[in-house]
Amino acid sequence: MKPKHEGKLLHMAKIHETAIVHPGAKIGKNVEIGPYSIIGENVEIGEGTKIGPHVVVEGWTTIGKNNQIFHGASIGLEPQDMKFKGEKSYLFIGDNNIIRENVTIHRGTEEGGGETRIGNNNLIMAYCHVAHDCQLGNHIIMSNATNLAGHVIIEDYVVMSGLTGVHQFVRVGKMAMVGAHSKVVKDVPPYILVDGHPARVNGINVVGLRRNGVDPDLRQEIKRAYKILYRSNLNTSQAIEKMDQELDASEEIEHFLRFLRNAQRGICR
C-alpha cells in the first residue's frame, strides 16, 4: 500500500501506512503517527512527538516537541461556540505534554483573541475537555473527565481532580488544587484547596506547596494571607489592603494579591 502522505520532513518521521497526513502538514524529526490517525493541512508537529492510533489533529494547530498524544484524542477542532462562524483561529501546545485517551482540545474564537494555549509538561488525563480560548500554564495535572468551559485560565502547578467542571471565564491560581466532582463557578486563588458543588474553600494546598519546594517561611506567609482573606471577616478589598500592609514582600505574595485584584467573577469562599 502506498503511504497517504508526502508532507515536509515526513522522510524523518515514523508514520503508519494507514495514517492520513495532509501534504501541507509540517512534521518534525522522529515524530510517530499511529494507525488511522488524521493530520490536517495546517498542522505543525514538533520533533519527537508521538501520536497514537485514531487521533485527529486539525485546524491551525501547532504542537511542540516530545509530546505524547494517546488514541482517540481530537485536537484543534472547531470550537463548540454558537458565535463561531468558521473564522481562522489557533491552538498552540508546548513541549513534553502527555495527552491521554479521548481528550478533546478546541481552537480559539474571535471573541477570545483567536487562540487556545497549553504550556509545557502538563498531564491531561483521559476524557478531559479543554474548550475554546482556554489558557493553560505549565506542570498542570487534569485528572480524568475534567471539563473546562471557554476562556478558562489555569495557572502553573494546578491540580484538577477528576470529574470536575469549570465555568467559562473562571481562573484557577498557581499551585491551587480542586477536589474531585467539584463545580467551579468562581475564581480559585493561588495556593488554595477547594472542593464541593459549588466549590468552597477547604484550606491551603499544603501538600502542593511542599511538593513544589516552597520554603517553610514562605508557607507561613501564605498561611497568614489565607487567614486574613478567609478568617478575618474582612471583604476582599479590605483583606487586600491588610495583606499589603502586614505581609513580607515576596514574589508569591505579590502574585496572590495581584490575582485577587484582578478577579472578575469573585473568588471561592
Q: Which residues are catalytic?
A: 132-133, 150
Quick one: 30 exposed, middle or buried, by C-beta within 10 A (0-12, 13-18, 19+)?
Answer: middle
Cell numbers for 263: 478577579
Distance CA 205, CA 256 (A): 14
Nearest-angstrom CA–CA distance, 80 and 150: 9
Phi, psi of 219 (to 5 degrees): -60, -35
Q: Is the dihedral of CA 68, 74, 77, 81 positive or negative?
A: negative
Strand order of the β-sheet with 60-63 is 26-27, 44-45, 60-63, 90-93, 115-118, 135-136, 153-154, 171-172
Measured distance CA(130)–CA(169) in Å, rounded: 13
Contact criterion met (CB below 8 Å) for 34 and 16? yes
Beta-carbon contacts of 132 under 8 Å, excluding residues fewer than 6 positions away, are 79, 80, 81, 84, 89, 106, 107, 108, 109, 112, 116, 150, 151
Element (H, E) at 218: helix 216-231
**DSSP H/E element including 14:** strand 14-15
How far, rounded to the nearest angstrom, does the alpha carbon of residue 220 sit from its chain's CA centroid?
A: 28
